[in-house]
Amino acid sequence: MPISQQGSVNTTSLIVPDLYVQIVPPQNLVLNGVPTNVLGVVGTASWGPVDEPTIIGTMGDYAQQFGSVVPRTYDMGTQVAIAVQQGAQNFRCVRVTDGTDASAYTLVPGSNASFTAMYTGSLGNNITLTLGAGSKPNTWMLTVLLPGFVPEIFDGLVGDGAAFWVGLAAAVNGGLGPQRGPSLLIVASAGGTTASPAPFSITLGSTSAGADGATQVGSAQLLGTDAPGRTGLYALRGQGCGLAVLADCADPSSWTTQAAFGLQEGIYMILTTPAGDTISNAVSTKASIGLDNYAAKLMFGDWLWWSDQVNNTIRLVSPQGFAAGRLANLSPEQSSLNKQVYGIIGSQRTGTPGSGQNTAYSTAELGALLGAGIDLICNPQPAGSFWGVRGGHNTSSNPATDGDNYTRLTNYIAETLAAGMGQYVGQVINSNLFQQVRSTQLSFLNNMYGQGLLGSTDGSLPFSVICDTTNNPSSRTSLGYVQSDAQIQYQAINERFIVNVEGGQTVQVSRQTLPTGQVN
């Protein structure tokens, strides 16, 4: 009674009389949507890997991987902290440097043994190392401490002379077994030392200090390169990001490059104009650059005052983190328009509380910005006196594609199909394949419809899928082509709500007649 997978045995050429059991896989592939809340952030930090995407979920995770928030331009932690305040909780962080970053390094006094910080950055200068008596007689214990990190203890170190230092380096770099893995903070080197061990307490960086390499960072470092060993923004390729931010990057020459990357990767890029920008300059700059693309959202350079709780200061920060974080916390069919953002205490235009400034945007000013495809964060909003995104638009000049919802929903559907439909490649082309392809897509779209991501004003089904002989003639299928055509109607966003009121003593009120039991 041989058991096999369907398709692995030619059932038309069996000779031996027997029972043949074939395992038939489910005929309809089920698609589960890709995440839409993954936010990529590229910027500087005081610790952590460089040009390597790192998964972050909370500010605690961020502190362990990249150190704390640093009050400076291009700081990655600032944008992550702001986005977390908006509800974002799924990040891919890429640290960049200007090439001058260095690891904290120190020599053990009276020896050639040394310790180097695991990563470059100034945070490594706070690491302290203490060698003292171990918990057992005639042993030594090395303690590695960094504020905010779990202490690392390497106990039971033995030996003398060169053997001791070689053993210490092996323990730090390779661990002491299942109970004590290698250090996550330092790298040790015996350095050929033959001196007997002696107690010490040293601070890493006393010989050579660690450096962040953030002083000369600009748009070139944030964008990076797309060659093998990708850097900067290009390190986010294939990371599944739905949104991305180059922290504080206000260089107009980078806008079209960012937008092109967004189109390639299905990422909604959140851009900003320079701090203190004027409306006329923002509009003319966008036009001269030629930015007209649904993959990018350009925020006006009315930068925002934000209370940095880590550094106990009020800082002026770009609007990117607020917009990106809010969008990351919205379903893809939603718009950022009229949605409250949190943590803002003022803007360059309105000033901080108590500054005496209180200049709201006029309808003409809003019209000039939104008409040019430039969004902004301001107060008030149509729903009340709170800070929020005022337009919900991307940079496209096409009214059919200029909404947040178009970008995010299109990317969501496309990425989901790209992630799941590839299983049909290599299958035999017949009517059964057509049925499976169509069924798979209809099942996914029906799930979206049932969850409210798709809908229609008249209750009709807002999608259709064709995959049969009408769009797959034999002249094409004989060459190995299969085509599936889907039409999907998105739900529009209520941007211009008109309420007509007719009042006066001469008005004649007409009432609608409703079925019995219903109230007018």
Give pLDDT, residue 14: 77
Task: Answer whether the bond into residue 380 is a cis peptide, omega within 30°.
Answer: yes
Model confidence at 15, in pLDDT bands (50, 70, 90)? confident
For residue 38, count other CB atoms closer than 10 A to its CB: 20
Q: Is 225 exposed, middle or buried (0-12, 13-18, 19+ CB in 10 A)?
A: middle
Report, in angstroms and rounded to the nearest whole number, the Rg of the chain calculated over CA atoms.
30
Give pLDDT, residue 96: 98
- Pairing state between β 140-145 and 91-95: unpaired
Cβ 109 vs Cβ 207: under 8 Å: no
Count, residues in the chain: 520
Is the pLDDT assigned to residue 519 strictly greater than 70? no
Largest CA distance in the chain: 106
Chain centre to alpha carbon of residue 380: 28
Give pLDDT, residue 120: 97
Instruction: Write the single-letter amino acid at 244.
Output: A
Is the pLDDT assigned to residue 349 strictly greater than 80? yes
Give pLDDT, residue 27: 64
For residue 254, count other CB atoms closer than 10 A to its CB: 20
pLDDT in tens, 155-184: 999 999 999 999 999 999 999 988 899 999
Mean pLDDT of the chain: 94
Cβ 268 vs Cβ 327: under 8 Å: yes
Query: And the tokens for 170?
Result: 């092996």
| pTM to 2 decimal places | 0.92
pLDDT in tens, 40-55: 999 999 999 999 999 9
Is the pLDDT assigned to residue 492 strictly greater than 90? yes
Tell me the torsion sign for CA atoms 204, 206, 207, 213: positive
pLDDT in tens, 413-464: 999 999 999 999 999 999 999 999 999 999 999 999 999 999 999 999 999 9
pLDDT in tens, 353-403: 666 666 789 999 999 999 999 999 999 999 999 999 999 999 999 999 999
User: Could you give the CA distance from residue 129 to residue 207 in angstroms, rounded to a whole number?
Assistant: 13
375: DSSP letter? B
Query: And the tokens for 84?
Result: 């977390």
Is the pLDDT assigned to residue 520 strictly greater than 60? no
Q: Is 428 exposed, middle or buried (0-12, 13-18, 19+ CB in 10 A)?
A: exposed
* Domains of the chain, first to last: 39-98+218-405 (3.40.50.11780), 105-203 (2.60.40.4290)
User: Could you give the CA distance from residue 255 to residue 257 in angstroms, rounded to a whole number?
Assistant: 5
User: Could you give the CA distance from residue 39 to residue 53 in angstroms, rounded to a whole number?
Assistant: 11
Give pLDDT, residue 517: 60
Give pLDDT, residue 178: 86
